[in-house]
């Protein structure tokens, strides 16, 4: 109660309150902990799984990607259940399922058992609930910062997973990685109940949650569909190539498994540094479409080159660096493009569909990568990935240039339907406001604005901070 009172007392503050910072960092830690556990097997699992009695290339790929299927199917039901039964309770259930799946995988002596465990890991689909709880615990004007903190934590978890996976595999073995992951889930539960405040109230936030009633309208938007297809393809190729990259490093390049971390670490750090200038140019110079299409091109060409020259150590490292530079740029840009493209009150639904597409991509990539490795070998997997990028290139080259609009959510007083409609019209008359929607059930106004031209004083007169 004290936290909630302090939260309300800081409404006039321009920065995040202590409660908002604590909630954002704690929820980011929970999300990162879970994603770390899902990704950590990526750089080493194929090498371990080949020795299991029921191993086939297809089953190896399926074990890597199966979590994406259960995650994609269950994240919306988890989110809806959290509206009715409470956020922290549903996150706890999801983390328990994740821990249970990790224990099943750690105890399994067959690939079939690990597939079951990985499916259970994905069944703890708490990502949407974490976003909803973040929205409950942050004021409208601070919500974007909180979401950015969570987004950065996921990116950091991916980098850490690729570096830590080979090291933990060397020290603990694959079973040990799964036991470690189960322990991470329990740590996340402790963080949830000791560090994350209880929200004063929970309700639908159209900027952060998927509304099933709006799903069809989002799916009918061809520009959003291009972005959904993009993230699906991006994670399809990521998961598919990690069926074979561990074999390339060990068998083709002669690098011991415990030293694979020292390949990923410099590649990922250099690629992260290389993509930052392109992000700045794309946003500040408003060259997003040109650089976006260029990144897709680099991604496809690097994969095509890998299919032919994966036996050359220096060349493969350079190609891997180019791949991750383009990958990191696209991974960072796509959510922003969805946010810019989606109608003001449908951003949460658009992001929910986008997230499901990402997880379906992980499932497709693992399954397809495993099957292709068995049928066509290493080159076949890289060729498949480059062909997928060719399809994406056609979608990217035909997409509209982004509008460079931002989303603003503002609190409003209790209004009637007529008053809400009048307020929306008044807001749209403010210079720089492109779209305004007032949701009376949430007491929130959703605006899409051009910050370059926005008349903030006029906006402040209509809706004081």
- Give a yes or no: residue 330 inside a domain: yes
Residues 238-251 as b/e (b if ≥16 CB within 10 A, e otherwise) read: bbbbbbbbbbbbbe
For each of the chain's 465 residues, which pLDDT tens digit applies? Answer: 334 433 433 444 458 899 999 999 999 999 999 999 999 999 999 999 999 999 999 999 999 999 999 999 999 999 999 988 999 999 999 999 999 999 999 999 999 999 999 999 999 999 999 999 999 999 887 888 899 999 999 999 999 999 999 999 999 999 999 999 999 999 999 999 999 988 888 888 888 899 999 999 999 999 999 999 999 999 999 999 999 999 999 999 999 999 999 999 999 999 999 999 999 999 888 899 999 999 999 999 999 999 999 999 999 999 999 999 999 999 999 999 999 999 988 999 999 999 999 999 999 999 999 999 999 999 999 999 999 999 999 999 999 998 888 888 888 888 999 999 999 999 999 999 999 999 988 888 999 999 889 999 999 888 875
Q: 390 and 417: one domain?
A: no
Residues 104, 49 share a domain: yes
Look at residue 211 and tell me if it is in a domain. no
Adjacent-strand bridge partners of 409? 446
The tally of domains found in the chain comes to: 3
Give the pLDDT of residue 137: 94
| Domain end residue (candidates: 388, 404, 420) | 404
- Same domain assignment for residues 184 and 65: yes
Residue 423 in any domain: the answer is: yes
Whether residues 27 and 163 fall in one domain: yes
Query: Do residues 421 and 395 both lie within one domain?
Result: no
User: Has residue 441 been placed in a domain?
Assistant: yes
Q: 356, 380, 404: which is the final residue of a domain?
A: 404
Specify whether the CB–CB gap between 70 and 123 falls below 8 A: yes
pLDDT on residue 465: 53
CB 370 within 8 A of CB 62: yes
**Which pair of structure tokens corresponds to residue 341?**
């493209």
Answer whether 274's CB lies under 8 Å from 291's CB: no
| 206 occurs within a structural domain | no
pLDDT for the residue numbered 15: 83
The CATH number linked to 390 is: 1.20.1250.20
Q: What is the spatial distance between Cα 243 and Cα 154, in angstroms, rounded to a whole number? A: 21
Strand 406-411: give its sheet, edge to edge.
406-411, 444-449, 433-439
| Same structural domain, 327 and 241 | yes
In a shared domain, residues 121 and 227: no
**How far apart are alpha carbons 89 and 329 in whole angstroms?**
35
Q: Could you tell me the two tokens for 89?
A: 């309770």
Assess whether 252 and 136 both reside in one domain: no
Domain that holds residue 447: 406-462
Residue 454 lies in a domain: yes
39 shares its domain with 92: yes
**454 lies in the same domain as 331:** no
pLDDT value for 441: 86
398/417 same-domain check: no
Q: pTM for this structure? A: 0.93
d(CA 301, CA 376): 20
The CATH number given to whatever domain includes residue 424 is 3.30.70.100
**Residue 90, in any domain of the structure:** yes
Same domain, 383 and 299: yes
Mark which of 169, 200, 231 sits at the end of a domain. 200
Question: What DSSP letter does each residue of 170-218 carry, written as one string?
Answer: HHHHHHHHHHHHHHHHHHHHHHHHHHSPPPS-----TTTS--GGGHHHH
Owner of token pair 């890991």: 121
- Domain for residue 8, yes or no? no
């Amino acid at each position: 109660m004290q936290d909630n009172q302090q939260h309300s007392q800081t409404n006039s503050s321009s920065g995040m309150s202590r409660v908002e910072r604590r909630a954002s960092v704690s929820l980011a830690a929970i999300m990162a902990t879970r994603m770390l556990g899902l990704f950590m097997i990526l750089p080493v699992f194929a090498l371990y799984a080949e020795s299991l009695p029921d191993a086939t290339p297809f089953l190896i790929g399926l074990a890597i990607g199966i979590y994406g299927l259960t995650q994609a199917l269950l994240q919306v039901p988890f989110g809806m259940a959290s509206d009715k039964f409470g956020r922290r309770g549903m996150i706890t259930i999801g983390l328990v399922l994740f821990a249970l799946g990790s224990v099943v995988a750690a105890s399994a002596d067959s690939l079939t058992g690990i597939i079951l465990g990985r499916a259970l890991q994905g069944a703890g689909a708490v990502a949407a609930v974490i976003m909803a709880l973040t929205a409950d615990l942050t004021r409208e004007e601070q919500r974007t910062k909180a979401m950015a903190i969570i987004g950065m934590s996921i990116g950091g978890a991916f980098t850490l997973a690729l570096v830590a996976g080979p090291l933990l595999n060397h020290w603990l073995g694959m079973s040990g990685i799964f036991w470690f992951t189960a322990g991470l889930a329990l740590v996340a539960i402790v963080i949830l109940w000791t560090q994350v405040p209880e929200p004063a109230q929970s309700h639908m936030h159209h900027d952060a949650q998927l509304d099933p009633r709006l799903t069809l309208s989002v799916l009918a938007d061809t520009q959003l569909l291009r972005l959904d297809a993009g993230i699906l393809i991006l994670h399809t190729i990521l998961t598919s190539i990690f069926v074979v990259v561990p074999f390339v490093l060990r068998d083709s390049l002669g690098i011991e498994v415990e030293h694979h971390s020292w390949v990923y670490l410099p590649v990922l750090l250099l690629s992260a540094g290389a993509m930052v200038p392109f992000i700045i140019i794309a946003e500040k110079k408003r060259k997003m479409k040109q650089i976006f299409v260029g990144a897709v091109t680099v991604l496809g060409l690097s994969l095509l080159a890998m299919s032919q020259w994966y036996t050359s150590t220096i060349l493969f490292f350079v190609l891997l660096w180019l791949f991750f530079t383009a990958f990191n740029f696209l991974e960072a840009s796509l959510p922003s493009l969805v946010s810019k493209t989606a109608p003001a009150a449908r951003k949460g639904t658009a992001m929910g569909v986008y997230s499901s597409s990402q997880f379906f991509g992980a499932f497709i990539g693992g399954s397809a990568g495993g099957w292709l490795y068995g049928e066509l070998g290493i080159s076949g997997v890289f060729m498949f990935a480059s062909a997928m990028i060719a399809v994406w290139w056609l979608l990217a080259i035909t997409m509209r240039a982004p509008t460079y609009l931002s989303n603003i959510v503002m609190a409003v007083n209790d209004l009637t339907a007529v008053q809400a409609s009048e307020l929306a019209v008044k807001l749209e008359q403010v210079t720089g406001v492109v779209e305004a929607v007032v949701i009376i059930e949430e007491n929130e106004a959703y605006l899409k604005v051009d910050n370059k031209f926005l008349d903030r004083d006029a906006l402040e007169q209509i809706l004081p901070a």
